[in-house]
Amino acid sequence: MSLLSVRSLAAFYGDFQALFDVSLDVEAGEIVAIIGANGAGKSTFLRSVVGLNASARETIRFDGQPIGGRPTHEIVARGIALVPEGRRIFPSLTVEENLLIGRHHGRGGRWSLARIYELFPVLAQRRAVAGPALSGGEQQMLAIGRALMSNPRLLLLDEVSLGLAPIIVHDLYRRLPSIIGEGTTAVIVEQDVSQALGVCDRLYCFQEGRITLTGTPRQLTRDQISAAYFGV
């Protein structure tokens, strides 16, 4: 049984349909990448999984249980954490408070405040600083740390490379496998195809709300990916 199982998922923003009949599986322990151009529906997909976008009950199953249509705070409590697009750290809270609130509804596990500070020493140095004073890269580390604090079984990362300098992106992706670690499953939404290919076990390509390609990095050629990405 897959950890996350999605069948015929549709998503709407008002009258605009962003996802059409999306079906995919994520097995426990995998790192799955979702690539695609802007507006392909990748972020919408992650938002649907955590309940920020409405979905039908049976379209999403986590650990065998249907979670479609459940409120977000309930879904998250089952062990899913999302690092949202644009970081969305809380400006009124300090770095440490942002991390602590990530633990609000957490389970026990390897991640604690101390371990997050070990992982991202720059956060420890700036623990009493308010969120907005951090650089883009630091904010991204904070957002990831905040998600890890709940010790999730499924970690969803939405466009972590957005707005960051290439060297920061490179460093982040280099460390990502150890951040995700043993026992955690991850779905990474990413526009930067090379970074995604370098770190995932399998990938899905979205284009205009549909899945156009799936496979492992070794199986797929550059041409195949381009075709699926741009729909040409």
Partner 1 sequence: MDWVNTIVQGVLLGGLYTLFATGLSLVFGIMRVVNLAHGDFIILAAFLGVVAIGIAGLHPFLTLLIVVPLMFGLGYLIQRGLLSLTLDRGVLPPLLVTFGLSIIIQNLLLEIFSADDRRLDAGWIETASVRLGGQVAIGWYPLIVFAAAVLAIAALQVLFSRTALGRAFRATADDQETVRLMGIDSRHTYGLAVAIAFAIIALAGVFLGIRTTFSPDIGPGRLLVAFETVVIGGLGSLWGTLVGGVVLGVAHAIGAKIDPAYRELAGHLVFLLVLLIRPQGLFARPVRDA
Whichever of 37 and 129 has its CB closer to partner 1, that residue is: 129
41 binds partner 1 per the rule CB under 8 A: no
17 binds partner 1 per the rule CB under 8 A: no
Whichever of 159 and 212 has its CB closer to partner 1, that residue is: 159
Instruction: Count how many Cα atoms sit within 13 Å of the Cα of residue 64 in the half-sphere of its side chain.
Output: 1
Q: At closest approach, how far in Å is the CB of 132 from partner 1?
A: 5
| 3-state SS, residue 27 | coil
Of the candidates 88, 85, 5, 89, the residue with the CA atom closest to the CA atom of residue 38: 85
Can you state the angle between helices 95-102 and 136-148, rounded to 10 degrees? 30
18 binds partner 1 per the rule CB under 8 A: no
48 binds partner 1 per the rule CB under 8 A: no
Per CB under 8 A, the segment of 9-17, 30-38, 46-54, 212-220 that binds partner 1 is: 46-54
174 binds partner 1 per the rule CB under 8 A: no
Per CB under 8 A, the segment of 73-81, 114-122, 159-167, 219-227 that binds partner 1 is: 73-81
User: How far is it, in rounded angstroms, from Cα 142 to Cα 217?
Assistant: 29
**Residue selected from 10, 77, 122, 162 as contacting partner 1 according to rule CB under 8 A:** 77
Identity at 103, one-letter amino acid code: R
Longest dimension (CA), the chain: 50
The DSSP secondary structure of 82-123, one letter per residue, reads EE-TT----TTSBHHHHHHHHTTT---SS--HHHHHHH-HHH
Q: At closest approach, how far in Å is the CB of 82 from partner 1?
A: 5
**Residue selected from 4, 18, 50, 211 as contacting partner 1 according to rule CB under 8 A:** 50
Please report, for residues 58, 189, 215, the alpha-carbon distance to residue 67 in angstroms, rounded to integers and kept in the order given.
7, 20, 26
| 3-state SS, residue 57 | helix
89 binds partner 1 per the rule CB under 8 A: yes
Whichever of 130 and 220 has its CB closer to partner 1, that residue is: 130
193 binds partner 1 per the rule CB under 8 A: no
150 binds partner 1 per the rule CB under 8 A: yes
Per CB under 8 A, the segment of 23-31, 70-78, 181-189, 219-227 that binds partner 1 is: 70-78
Cα-based angle 53, 149, 153 (whole degrees, multiple of 5): 60
205, two tokens = 């390509």
Could you list the residues that contact partner 1 (CB under 8 A)?
Answer: 50-52, 71-73, 76-77, 81-82, 84, 87-93, 97, 100-102, 104-106, 130-132, 139, 146-147, 150
